[in-house]
Amino acid sequence: MKTFIKRTIITGFMVLCVGALSGCGKNRVKSPDETTAPAKASASTETEPTKVPSTAAQSTVISDSENATKESLKELGFIYNGKTITLLDFTDDQKMEAMLGKAEDTKTHTYSTSDGLNMDQLTGKTEKQYLYPDLVIKTIDAGENNKSYIYQIEITGSQYTTVRNVKVGDSFETLKEAYPEGNLIGGELSNEEDDFRFEEEDYANVMNFHIKNKKVSSIQIYSLID
C-alpha cells in the first residue's frame, strides 16, 4: 500500500513538471531573428555593375558616324553630263578622263620643305591639277597606300551644277533657298563681294560660293588637309 502511494505521488509530480515545461516552451518570447524571416537584400543597397557597351554596339555607333560622313560628302560635289564628282573621291588619270573627258592641261607639284609654300604637312606628297574649261580639280596622293583623291574643286562656269542644282550665275536668293543651312560670311547681303559658306560640322570639308553683284560668281569645294 505504501509502495502504491509513492508511485502515485512520483507520477503526479512528473506530470506537473512536464506540464510546467510545456507551458514555459509556449510562453517563451522568440528573438527577433526567430520571429522574422531573413529579409532579402534591398535592391537599393546593391551596387549594379557598370554596363559597358558591347563591341557590337560600339561598332554600330562608329558605322553610323561613318555613314553620316559619307552622306554629307555627297553634298560636296558637282554634276556634269549626269556624272557626280565629289570631294575626297579617289581618282587617277583614267577615271578623270572617263568622268570629264581629257583635260586641257595637267600640272604636278611635289611638296618639299624648301619650296617656299609652307606646307610641311604635305612634304613628299604630290599634287596634281586637272584643267578643264571653267574647272580646275586638284588631287593629292595622301590617301591610304598613297592613293590620290580630290581635295579641291574650283568652278567658274555655269555648265557645272552642285548636287542641289546651284550654278555660277544664279542669284543669291536661289543659293540661299537651296542651302538654307549655309552662312553669309559678311552677315548681310550687300553690293560688296562676299562669300557664302556651306560646310560640315567639323569644318574640315567646305563648299564656298563667292558672291559678286548678288550672284554666284564662282564655287570652290575643298578639304582642309592636316
Listing DSSP states for the chain in one string gives -HHHHHHHHHHHHHHHHHHHHHHHHHHPPPPHHHHSPPPPPPGGGS-PPPPPPPHHHHHHHHHHHHHHHHHHHTTSEEEETTEEEETT-B--HHHHHHHH-S-SEEEEEE--TTSSS--GGGTT-EEEEEEETTEEEEEES-SGGG--EEEEEEE-STT-EETTS--TT-BHHHHHHH-TT-EETTSS--SS-EEEEEE-TTSSEEEEEEEETTEEEEEEEEE---
**Residue 145 binned pLDDT confidence (cut-offs 50, 70, 90):** confident
Whether the per-residue pLDDT at 216 is higher than 90: the answer is yes
pLDDT value, residue 144: 81
Residue of higher predicted confidence among 194 and 2:
194
Residues 215/171, Cβ–Cβ less than 8 Å: yes
Q: What phi and psi values does residue 45 have, to the nearest 5 degrees?
A: -90, -10
Mean pLDDT estimate for the chain: 79
d(C-alpha 213, C-alpha 169), whole Å: 10
d(C-alpha 116, C-alpha 110), whole Å: 12
Residues 137/152, Cβ–Cβ less than 8 Å: yes
d(C-alpha 64, C-alpha 80), whole Å: 30
Whether the per-residue pLDDT at 4 is higher than 60: the answer is no
pLDDT value, residue 217: 98
Q: What phi and psi values does residue 97 have, to the nearest 5 degrees?
A: -65, -35
d(C-alpha 208, C-alpha 196), whole Å: 6
Cell, residue 195: 562669300
Q: Euclidean distance between the first and final Cα of the chain, in Å?
A: 123
Whether the per-residue pLDDT at 138 is higher than 70: the answer is yes
pLDDT digits (tens, 9 = 90+) for 83-127: 999 999 999 999 999 999 999 999 999 999 999 998 888 999 999
Report field, pTM of the whole predicted structure over 0.85 = no
Residue of higher predicted confidence among 200 and 126:
126
Residue of higher predicted confidence among 49 and 153:
153
- Which pairing describes strands 161-162 and 183-184: parallel, antiparallel, or unpaired? unpaired
d(C-alpha 14, C-alpha 210), whole Å: 117
- Protein fold of 78-223: protein yfey like fold (2.60.460)
Cell, residue 179: 542651302
pLDDT digits (tens, 9 = 90+) for 29-62: 444 444 444 444 444 445 555 555 555 544 444 4
Cell, residue 100: 570629264
**In the chain, pLDDT over 90 holds for what percent of residues?**
56
pLDDT digits (tens, 9 = 90+) for 59-80: 444 444 444 455 667 899 999 9
Task: Indicate the range of 4-8, 147-151, 185-189 predicted with least confidence.
Answer: 4-8
